Amino acid sequence: MTDALVGVRGRRTRSLVLTTVIAAGSVVMILPFYWLLIATTYPSSEIFASPPNLLPGPAFFDNLSGLLTETLFGRAIGNSVLIASVYTVLGLVVCTAAGYAFAKFEFRGRGVLFGAVLVTLALPSQVTLVPLFQIMVTLGWLDTYQALILPSLAMPFGIFLMRQTMLAVPDELLQAARVDGAGEFRVFSRIVLPTVRPAIAALAIFLFLGQWNEFVYPLVVLRTPESFTIPVSLASLQGIGTTDYGQLMTGTLLSVLPILVLFLFLQRHFVAGILAGAVKQ
């Protein structure tokens, strides 16, 4: 039976069925978030109540103040904000500069260097876990911000994305600026960067999100709770013998909330970033 024969009524039924199925799936996707939200408003003893709580309770501020005074989670938030912000800014500088060189210049060793970038995209990062730890021990950098920020700044994917985007910038534009007497740095910062702004926004989100959620490498090079980032702090809260679930859930919510808000405002850029960088780092 072809669509034409099904007619308007069949179409309407199918539309209703499809929308209902997708809506049901959507509830499954959202439910964990909703449960998390509810869980943060109950004391630990009532989080796993039976029947389960479906409406908010009174304990959110108790959980929050407990989390911030009894644990070092507040410190972890500060660490994460600082590390992820600095990392994002520096990462953008490094990746855009490298992308520009690969996209717009002919030079000896370009093929080899770019090949190295592509190969590191596919290599498992876990191989470098032990040597990076040893490097940080040698440098005396355990528990430092630079230990987290520096190693992954030259992110292969970021360089790759910037190169691809800048390939599309017309050479004539650059030549015109050079003829007008602009220096190389000026051409880069005034002509190229503004032209690829959407890709830069996508990369910025990608860098920030990646660093914000990074777990195994910080787990290795951060030793004292004062230096923990949010994910490491959360994992350590969970590790404690008697976990205060109210606090743990509140911490979990705090780790997601800023990103969630950012996501709702900048959805388009998130999608572009994920599309461009569906790479699990």
Partner 1 sequence: MNALLETVDARPATDRRRPPSRRRRSSIGHPRLTPYLFLLPTILLFLAFKLYPYLSAFWVSLTQNVGGVTAFVGLDNYIRLAQDPLFYTALGNTFLILVVQVPLMLALGIVLSVAFNSMLLKWRAFWRTSYFVPIVMGLVAYGILFRALFDSGDGIVNEMLGAVDIGPIPWLVDPFWAKISIVLAMTWHYTGQNAIIYLAQLQSIPGELYEAAQVDGANGWQRFWNITMPGLRPALLLTVILSTIGTLQLFDEPYVLTNGGPDNATLTIGMYLYQNGFRYFDFGYASAIGYALTLIIAVISLIQFRLFKEKTR
* Subset of residues 197 to 226 that bind partner 1, contact rule: CB under 8 A: 199, 202, 209, 212-213, 215-216, 219-220
Closest distance to partner 1 from the beta carbon of 98 (Å):
4
- CB distance 220 to 148 below 8 Å: no
Of the candidates 35, 60, 141, 145, which one interacts with partner 1 according to CB under 8 A? 35
CA dihedral of 255, 232, 83, 32, whole degrees rounded to 10: -20
CA dihedral of 230, 234, 239, 242, whole degrees rounded to 10: 130
* Region from 56-64, 66-74, 81-89, 118-126 binding partner 1, contact rule CB under 8 A: 118-126
Size of the site for partner 1 (CB under 8 A): 118
Of the candidates 5, 8, 50, 138, which one interacts with partner 1 according to CB under 8 A? 50
Distance (Å, whole) CA 188 – CA 103: 12
- CB distance 255 to 230 below 8 Å: yes
Cis ω before 51 (30° cut-off from 0): yes
Of the candidates 81, 151, 189, 225, which one interacts with partner 1 according to CB under 8 A? 151
- Taking the CA atoms of 280, 149, 224 and 76 in sequence, report the sign of the dihedral they define: negative
Which residue shows structure tokens 């498992």? 124
Of the candidates 83, 204, 207, 276, which one interacts with partner 1 according to CB under 8 A? 276
The type of residue at 45 is S
- CB distance 38 to 250 below 8 Å: no
Distance (Å, whole) CA 171 – CA 2: 51
Verify binding: residue 82, partner 1, rule CB under 8 A.
Answer: no
Q: Which C-beta is closer to partner 1: that of 65 or that of 257?
A: 257
Of the candidates 55, 107, 241, 242, which one interacts with partner 1 according to CB under 8 A? 107
Of 171, 201, 188, which is closest to residue 100 (Cα–Cα)? 188
Closest distance to partner 1 from the beta carbon of 227 (Å):
16
* Region from 62-70, 71-79, 81-89, 265-273 binding partner 1, contact rule CB under 8 A: 265-273
Of the candidates 48, 85, 173, 190, which one interacts with partner 1 according to CB under 8 A? 48
Of the candidates 68, 81, 141, 164, which one interacts with partner 1 according to CB under 8 A? 164
Q: Which C-beta is closer to partner 1: that of 55 or that of 122?
A: 122
Verify binding: residue 189, partner 1, rule CB under 8 A.
Answer: no
Closest distance to partner 1 from the beta carbon of 74 (Å):
17
